[in-house]
Amino acid sequence: MVDNPIAPMTDDEAWEALRSHEFGRLAFHLLDEVHIVPINYAVDGSHRIIFRTAEGSKLLGVEMNSDVAFEIDQYDDETAFSVIARGRATTLEGSAAYIADNLPLRPWVPTEKYNVVAIAVSEISGRRFRLEKPWTSIHTT
């Protein structure tokens, strides 16, 4: 018990981790399938995850079913963390979409993405892991 390698974050810590990163993975429904894609994102002042997207299966998927999950993580040889959020995705229309211009929302790949989507987060959980990789002392991967 005292040696649990997994420690939960507080909600504040999980949000702080989300705010201090900009790359994660979105899981969404597309008809009866589940899909996952990497995205750049930013967090706005209303506890929403904001991202841009082109037309395509991602936009179609969230417009047909707004239930989504989102994950970020980071690791080194000894520690890792993961934050998972779930919520509802909405495509922002008109002036609402301009919020993206005032966020540190920086696409890493300069393709055209005209649509702005906001995930209103209903659940968030973060965990820190203490890793045990005895094999890294034998050979590096």
β-pair partners for 117: 51, 91
Distance, CA of 104 to CA of 107 (rounded, Å)? 10
Beta-sheet strands, E only, within 1-141 = 6-8, 23-30, 33-40, 42-43, 48-53, 67-75, 79-92, 115-130
**CA distance readout (Å), 68 to 1, 23, 37, 50, 65:** 33, 16, 12, 13, 8
- When asked if residue 80 is in the footprint of a copy of itself (CB under 8 A), the reply is yes
Determine if 47 is a binding residue for a copy of itself (CB under 8 A).
no
Among 1, 32, 45, 93, binds a copy of itself (CB under 8 A): 32
Q: According to the binding rule CB under 8 A, does residue 120 interact with a copy of itself?
A: no
Interaction between residue 51 and a copy of itself (CB under 8 A): no
The least CB distance from residue 27 to a copy of itself, in Å, is 4
**Near a copy of itself by CB under 8 A, which window of 48-56, 70-78, 90-98, 113-121?**
70-78
- Minimum Å distance from CB 9 to a copy of itself? 14
| The only residue of 2, 93, 94, 110 in contact with a copy of itself, by rule CB under 8 A | 110
| C-alpha to C-alpha distances, 40 to 5, 10, 19, 20, 100, nearest whole angstrom | 29, 24, 12, 12, 12
Interface contacts to a copy of itself, rule CB under 8 A? 5-6, 22-23, 25, 27-29, 32-38, 67-71, 73, 75, 80, 82, 84, 86, 106, 108-111, 129-133, 135, 141
